[in-house]
Amino acid sequence: MEQSKFDRAIRIIALLLFVMAVIHIGWMIYQGRGMKVVFETMQYVAMFLVIVPGLLRKRLNFEMPWILYSLILFFCFWGLIMGDALNFYKIVPYWDDILHLGSGLLLAAIGVWLLRIGLAKNDKPIYFNRWALAFYLIMFSLGCATFWECIEFLLDSCFSINMQQFMATTTGSLVTEADIPRCGHEALYDTMIDLSDTLVGAVPAAIYCFFRYDKIITK
């Protein structure tokens, strides 16, 4: 597919996702589901990420590979539409684990792309030790995953929701006064499993780059 046609297709899909989000949020407001609106709105804002690559290319002259572009779009679809809107988190066992495994691979790919951008202005090839590259990709993926867990913790604290799944009586994101929180080591389970899944997903990507990029990273 030509780049221009691909860009148009991505814009159309992103626009459709945005329209679906607005309709969904409007319907929840009509039903009087106040806190649900706040929570869902913050998730749908994440859909804006699908148009970020195009903005980067126009404003900062950063070119994102179309394969990576597609993976980001599909990951948003799997997580936000299939996971939340279609309730795959409850219907499909281990759906959340699958997504976090995939996020490890995706974040590692983004890490390689960012590294290429950072080194792209050099006139000569840049040599990067393969061990350091593999370590960087794993740490980059874990760092992003940890940042996301911090966001979940902040949202749970500010809006009294259950994104980190610390409630023993519900797996939903919204909680009531009747829900009982987990205690002790058990309360850390969801967060640590999410981070572990990301690590497991990042390791194959790091191993691939270890053998694929034989010290050289920009040429």
pLDDT means over runs of 10, the chain (219 residues)? 61 69 66 57 58 64 73 77 72 88 92 82 71 93 94 84 85 79 89 94 93 64
State the CB neighbour count (10 A cutoff) for residue 75: 18
Q: What is the pLDDT of residue 98?
A: 92
CB 103 within 8 A of CB 75: yes
User: Residues 198, 153: one domain?
Assistant: yes
State the CB neighbour count (10 A cutoff) for residue 68: 15
Longest dimension (CA), the chain: 63
Q: What is the pLDDT of residue 218?
A: 54
* Per-residue tokens: 85: 């809107």
What is the C-alpha to C-alpha distance for residues 113 and 127, in angstroms, rounded to an integer?
Answer: 16
Q: What is the pLDDT of residue 71?
A: 81
Domain residue limits at 123: 93-219
Among candidate residues 92, 116, 149, the one where a domain is terminated: 92
Q: What is the pLDDT of residue 100?
A: 92
Confidence (pTM): 0.77
User: Residues 125, 186: one domain?
Assistant: yes
User: Residues 100, 74: one domain?
Assistant: no
User: Residues 108, 194: one domain?
Assistant: yes
User: Residues 82, 98: one domain?
Assistant: no
Q: What is the pLDDT of residue 59?
A: 66
User: Residues 152, 74: one domain?
Assistant: no
User: Residues 46, 98: one domain?
Assistant: no
User: Residues 77, 98: one domain?
Assistant: no
Which residue has tokens 């539409």?
A: 81
User: Residues 107, 135: one domain?
Assistant: yes
Among candidate residues 59, 92, 125, the one where a domain is terminated: 92
Q: For the chain, how many structural domains are there in total? A: 2
User: Residues 36, 71: one domain?
Assistant: yes
Q: What is the pLDDT of residue 32?
A: 61
What is the C-alpha to C-alpha distance for residues 133 and 138, in angstroms, rounded to an integer?
Answer: 9
User: Residues 66, 164: one domain?
Assistant: no
Among candidate residues 46, 77, 92, the one where a domain is terminated: 92
User: Residues 47, 115: one domain?
Assistant: no
